[in-house]
């Protein structure tokens, strides 16, 4: 994906502090993934079996010949992929365990991990959203292993998502883990439901941002954005 300049005043950045105004198609009801309470009463093997049956029915309705060698395994493949891979982040038992370290060096400047590649899926069309997440925080006495920031991003990406919710869920997980409000998350992503269908726009990307604590200060926020724009 071509990396574009992200600036504080960019209209591409949809600030989530005031994300109430909405867009017809991509409608978000809550920053929690709307899951039923009994979502994990059924075990994974049963889910795979049932999804496979239903996906086979979809293919059948589309008129595809399930006896064809190339298609025969597709329902099982899709079901396994849904449950064990691309939607595995729905299940709280897959949440990464977070280890923190003492901030030995008393580093009190902002810490930024940028260009975290992620793959998610739009919950309105079940087609991919992919892009880069940039995460920053100030230590409140503890620091987090950098690979763990990556894992937090991947965990929340592996759900049917909307980009705004993904942004806030990552920010909230960072705040919880690090016991601080001083967290920033910016996501720049391509939505295949926009580029491969619908309006067929292949060049636009969508920016979302969440800034809290020290990052609500304009200078700090700018420093973070300078950091992520600096190749």
What residues act catalytically?
122-125, 163, 191, 193
> Is 125 part of any known ligand binding site?
yes
Q: Beta-carbon neighbour count of residue 189 at 10 Å? A: 24
d(CA 158, CA 145): 20
Output 125 or 210, the one with its CB closest to Zn ion. 125
CB 208 within 8 A of CB 163: yes
Binding site for Zn ion (CB under 5 A): 122, 124-125, 193
- Tell me the residue number closest to Zn ion, measured at CB: 193
Cβ distance to Zn ion smaller for residue 122 or 189: 122
Check the annotation: does 122 bind a ligand: yes
Instruction: Report phi then psi at 128, rounded to 5.
Output: -65, 145
Nearest approach, Cβ of 202 to Zn ion (angstroms)? 15
Distance CA 113, CA 142 (A): 16
74 vs 196, which CB is nearer to Zn ion? 196
Nearer to Zn ion, 27 or 105 (CB): 27
Least distance to Zn ion, CB of residue 69, Å = 32
CA distances to 9, 116, 155 from 169, rounded to whole Å, are 23, 15, 10
Please enumerate in sequence order all residues whose Cβ is within 8 A of that of 201, keeping only pairs 6 or more positions apart, or say none: 194, 195
DSSP 43-55: -HHHHHHHHHHHH
Angle at 117 between CA 157 and CA 106, to 5 degrees: 95
**Closest CB to Zn ion among 31 and 40?**
31
The least distance separating Zn ion from the CB of residue 194, rounded to whole angstroms, comes to: 7
What is the nearest approach in angstroms of Zn ion to the Cβ of residue 65?
29
Q: Which of 79, 70, 166 is nearest to 118 (CA)?
A: 166
Provide the minimum distance between the beta carbon of 33 and Zn ion in the complex, in angstroms, as a whole number.
15
Q: Could you give the C-alpha distances from 140 to 34, 105, 183, in angstroms and in order? A: 31, 13, 11
Query: Residues forming the annotated binding site?
Result: 122, 125, 193
Query: Residues forming the annotated binding site for Zn(2+)?
Result: 122, 125, 193
């Amino acid at each position: 994906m071509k990396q574009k300049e992200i600036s504080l005043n960019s209209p591409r950045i949809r600030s989530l502090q005031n994300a109430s105004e909405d867009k017809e198609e991509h409608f978000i009801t809550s920053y929690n993934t709307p899951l039923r309470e009994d979502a994990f009463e059924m075990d994974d093997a049963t889910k795979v079996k049932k999804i496979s049956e239903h996906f086979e029915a979809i293919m059948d309705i589309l008129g595809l010949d399930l006896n064809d060698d190339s298609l025969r395994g597709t329902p099982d493949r899709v079901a396994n992929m849904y449950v064990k891979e691309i939607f595995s982040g729905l299940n709280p038992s897959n949440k990464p365990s977070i280890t923190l370290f003492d901030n030995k060096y008393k580093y009190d400047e902002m810490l930024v991990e940028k260009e975290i590649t992620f793959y998610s899926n739009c919950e309105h069309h079940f087609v991919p959203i992919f892009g880069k997440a940039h995460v920053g925080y100030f230590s409140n006495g503890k620091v987090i292993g950098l690979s763990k920031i990556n894992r937090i991003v991947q965990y929340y990406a592996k759900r049917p998502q909307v980009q705004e919710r993904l942004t806030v869920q990552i920010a909230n997980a960072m705040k919880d883990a690090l016991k601080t409000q001083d967290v920033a998350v910016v996501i720049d992503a391509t939505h295949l439901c926009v580029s491969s269908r619908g309006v067929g726009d292949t060049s636009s990307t969508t920016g979302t941002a969440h800034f809290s604590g020290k990052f609500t200060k304009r200078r700090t926020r700018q420093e973070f954005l300078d950091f992520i724009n600096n190749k």
